[in-house]
């Protein structure tokens, strides 16, 4: 889930509540709050806790809330996760430590320590393009043996890696795609769903695609994937979440503002996105 800001750069909690309500009524079963798409590196912990509470209240009884409480400091991640747990949230998303580039043993120890400090279900998040480290399938398998490490958001871009993770982990260990464009291919090798960016724009269609695949209607799932594929690619014409915020603003949501060092997308990007959304009949 993106984080809406007002014209002064403050978190717009009222608009956050409205967007959360929209997402859970348009295809999303669960909302991940304060992940990368939510610009977590530029949010204070106080802002994050308030966002957790606002979203939890907005979707109570209709959707789950997962807190993005990862950090490249194990101590900080533990502290943030414990506070999120005290709010009664449904899980925690833990990104691989970034910049300090731990080895596999360091990654194992980091995630193991966080899991030991909370009863929340923990979702690992592997995105080497942003963190500089890859969580190897062998390490995922070791972590899957920890009772409350229950899933992984896999965004390495490698179907071979996804297959290795599926091969090495119990079937009740859940694999989510971290890339919209790879959701359907990953379902075919054992994934369950997607932690999605495009769901801000086409959540119901993505939900239909996944259900069609699960129910054996693979041709229908492929058609939906191909229809949405230009959107999946277009939302990465610039650094995420710049394009998705622009796309939402084109659909009437006042959410285009970002916090430095990210800046609002260019006029040319806005024009390209508007053309794309019209082509896909995603604008009124």
The catalytic site residues sit at 125, 153
Residue 154 phi, psi dihedral angles, 5° rounding = -105, 115
Virtual torsion, Cα 169, 175, 179, 185, nearest 10 deg: 80
Asked whether 27 and 14 are in contact (CB, 8 A), the reply is no
User: For residues 176 and 151, is the Cβ–Cβ distance under 8 A?
Assistant: yes
SS3 70: coil
Residue 25's alpha-carbon distances to 19, 204, 207, 271, in angstroms, are: 10, 9, 11, 28
- In terms of Cα–Cα distance, which of 131, 132, 186, 136 is closest to 157? 186
Cα–Cα dist 267/243, whole Å? 11
**One-character DSSP codes across 77-131:** HHHHHHHHHHTT-SEEEEEPP-SS---HHHHHHHHHHHHHT--S-EEEEE-HHHH
Which residues are bridge partners to 32 per DSSP? Answer: 66
Phi, psi for residue 96 in degrees, rounded to 5: -60, 140
Distance, in Å, from the CA atom of 278 to the CA atom of 273, rounded to the nearest integer, reads: 8
Triad 128, 211, 232: Cα angle to 5°: 40
> Measured between alpha carbons, how far is 38 from 194 in angstroms, rounded to an integer?
16
């Amino acid at each position: 889930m993106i984080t809406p800001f007002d014209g002064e750069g403050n978190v717009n909690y009222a608009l956050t509540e409205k967007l959360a309500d929209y997402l859970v009524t348009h295809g999303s079963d669960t909302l991940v709050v304060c992940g990368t798409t939510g610009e977590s590196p530029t949010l204070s912990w106080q802002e994050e806790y308030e966002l957790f509470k606002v979203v939890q209240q907005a979707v109570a009884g209709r959707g789950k809330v997962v807190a993005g409480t990862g950090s490249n400091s194990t101590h900080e991640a533990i502290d943030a996760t414990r506070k999120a747990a005290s709010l009664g949230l449904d899980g925690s998303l833990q990104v691989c430590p970034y910049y300090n580039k731990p080895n596999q043993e360091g990654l194992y120890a980091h995630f193991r320590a966080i899991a030991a400090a909370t009863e929340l279900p923990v979702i690992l998040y592997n995105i080497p393009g942003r963190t500089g480290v890859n969580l190897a399938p062998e390490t995922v398998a070791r972590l899957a043996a920890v009772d409350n490490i229950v899933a992984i958001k896999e965004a390495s871009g490698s179907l071979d890696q996804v297959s290795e993770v599926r091969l090495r982990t119990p079937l009740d260990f859940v694999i989510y795609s971290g890339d919209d464009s790879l959701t359907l291919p990953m379902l075919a090798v054992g994934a369950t769903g997607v932690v999605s960016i495009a769901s801000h724009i086409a959540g119901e269609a993505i939900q239909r695609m996944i259900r069609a695949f699960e129910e054996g209607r693979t041709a229908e799932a492929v058609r939906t994937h191909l229809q949405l594929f230009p959107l999946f690619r277009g939302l990465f014409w610039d650094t995420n979440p710049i394009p998705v915020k622009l796309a939402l603003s084109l659909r009437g949501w006042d959410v285009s503002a970002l916090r430095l060092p990210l800046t609002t997308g260019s006029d040319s990007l806005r024009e390209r996105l508007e053309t794309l959304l019209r082509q896909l009949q995603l604008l009124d």
